[in-house]
Every structure is written in structure tokens, then in C-alpha cells.
Structure 1
Amino acid sequence: MEELERRVQKLVQNFCTGLPGHVEKWKIIFKDVQDPIRALVNFSEQLICVEKARIEYMDNFDEIQRILQYKILSDIEDELLSISTHIDQLTNLNQELKNKLSTLERTTVDLDWESETALIRGTPSQPPLDRLLEMGYDFWIYFSTVSKNINAALKNLNVRDAKRVDTLRKCFCLDLENPDIDTDRIINYFLAVTQYVGS
């Protein structure tokens, strides 16, 4: 049993030491995606205006309109490609986190959960194992849900519908620097209680 607990403790440390990096990478990706999101919003507005425009007195207006539409749609495609790349990075980060958590959970199945060891009951620098797993699951679910919402908004995107474009934009307004109460409880509290694990 001691060997199993050592293995589990190593996985706990591996999981906990990766948590701040996970949050930091999310912050970086969200910062980097703001430019293509802003550009998408602008191009969407331009496209809507160009397609609504009707100028009867210009002989070649239809041709100019088609050229503008093509140019704007090409720009939108470029921005969507950039946004999709950022979304893929978020998905990969969530998968890495889930893999670490799943490996940790599977390894704990054969532990003696009634024992009074530091791993099971916790220490001043490490929460009890059941609490750590529960908070870890909430942590992963939080990021997974945000990611799913982003993917759903992208899937339902219509660049000619300002509301749908705004829905996608709002998905990227998550502020991990100044979180709301629920986010603070799920993320910052968990980071705080696991920051000394393994030290």
C-alpha cells in the first residue's frame, strides 16, 4: 500500500503543479484572440452594411458590391481561421488537464480510503485526497464548460447576424484576472489550497 500511496502522491503533485500553468495559458490565449475577434466583429458589420446598400445612380454598383463582399468574406475567413486555432489550443489544454485528472482518479481506486495517512486525510500543505479530487473535477468542468460554450457559439455563427457574432465575442470576455465570485471560488481558491503541494 505504501508503494501505491507514493505513486498517487506523485500524480497529485504532477496534477497540482500544472494548475497555475493551465490558467496562465488560458489567459495568454484569451489575450491573443482579442484582435481576431475584434476584426471579425468589424468585418461582419461591414458585410452587413455592404449587402444592405442600394445605390441606383451608380452604373457598376452591383459589380463593386460583389468585389467588396468577396474581399470582406476573405478577411472574415482569415480571422475565423485564427480564432479556430486559438480554440483548438484551449481544447488541447483541457484534454491535457482531463488526462492528468483521470489518471490520478484511476490510480486511487485501490487505496484504503479509511486509513489515516497524510495522503488520505491531508496535511497543512495538501487538502485531503477526496477534497482535492472533487475540487480538481470542478476546476476541469469550469474550463471545459467555457470551451464548449465557445465551440457552440462558433458552430452557430452567422457572420451576417450581429447577435450571433456578439455571442461569440462575449464568450471571450472571461476575465481570469478579475474573476466573479463563482470563478474565484473554483479557480483561485483551488490554486491557493494546492500551491504548496509537493513543496
Structure 2
Amino acid sequence: MKRRNFLTTTAGGLSWLVTQALAEAQSQTSLREKEKAIEPLLKELEAMRGRFANVPRTDGQFLNMLIKLSRSRHVLEVGTSNGYSAIWLCLALEETDGHLTTIEIDPERVKLAKENLKRAGLDRRVTFLEGDAHKVVPTLEGPFDFVFLDADKGREHDYFSYLYPKKLLPGAIIAVHNAIRMRQAMRRYLDMMSEHPEFDTLLVSTTLDDGFAISYWRRKK
């Protein structure tokens, strides 16, 4: 390659890299601003945590981090409640440019969740499905690369059977809440996942009180 052509090509490549870096920086700034803007809403919902059985803030932040670390884009949530955890999930999906499908059986909670996600400016990231998740999940096409189960404790093995293997992507993560406090109720699921030849499962707590069962579907070489 001639020196002039090399310099032109290199300059063009550097210009593209600079543009991409600036765009990424602006995107991260925008996300941080959005998180700050919805802080009053988060605190409002946290004050209602007992009534709606929402996850603690650190658990919401943990789910948010997991999605960003795994670069998940197709997320399923079972148990929307008033949308608190969905906000944390969708904040992460703003970064990965993904979408959340969330299921709730209670019509009033679906209505509240829709209002809260709209107030957060995240409603475009989510599809709300109302109904019995045991009937809804089998109808979903998927596939999903992240699943958050926070409903109907003791029936996690049923949800797993609806999803695995056709509705999950290789490398998918399944996060089940209350896996410490309600370990006995979830015993069948936890035993199944701990012995599953294709999954790695670990109990994780951010509160030293309760926490998650996190399962990772290993990618085949």
C-alpha cells in the first residue's frame, strides 16, 4: 500500500473509532441521566415494596448488571407485579438494545406496571402479557437469553420445562428469586438444576438475607 493511501485509510479508521467512542460516551451519559431522572419513581415504588413483593433495590441492580454483563437482549420476566423489577431490567436493555416480555396474572398490577414503565420512559422496551403464566409461557416463541422467575414459588421446574430447550438460547441465564428464604419450596427445581448436565447453578445473595438461584446454560464447543 502506498504511504498516501495508508495514511488516508488510517485517518479514516481513526475518525470512525473516535466517532464510535464519542457516540458510546454520549449513550452512557444519557443512560446515567435517565437513571437519575427516574430515581424519585424508584424510591416511590420501594416504599410500596411490602405490598407488591418487589425485589430489594440491590437485587434489582444485580439483575440489571447481569443483563449488561451477558449482553442479553431477549428477556422474559414471570411475575411483573407493579413493574419495579421490570424498570431495572429495561434500564439494562437500554444499553443492550433489547426487549422485555413480562407476564402478570393480576389485571390491576398489569395496569400499574404499564403506568410505571411509561413514567420511567421505558415502555417501548417492554411487552406486557396478562394471564396465567403456566398457560402463557408455552405459547411464547422465544428464544430468550435471560429469564427472571419471581412468581408462583415451587413451580419453577414447570416453567423450566416450558422453556428448555427450544425457547432458550445457548448461554441463557435463568434467575430465580427467593431461592434462599424459600429454598424448601423450590427444592425440586434447585435439586434438578444442581444436577443438570448442561447448566451451572449458584445461589447468590446481595442482601445476606435472601437471593437468587442463577443458572447458566453452557454453550457447546
Give the TM-score taking structure 2 as reference length: 0.31
TM-score, normalised to structure 1, is 0.34
Looking at CA atoms only, which structure, 1 or 2, has the larger radius of gyration? 1
Q: Which has the higher strand share?
A: 2
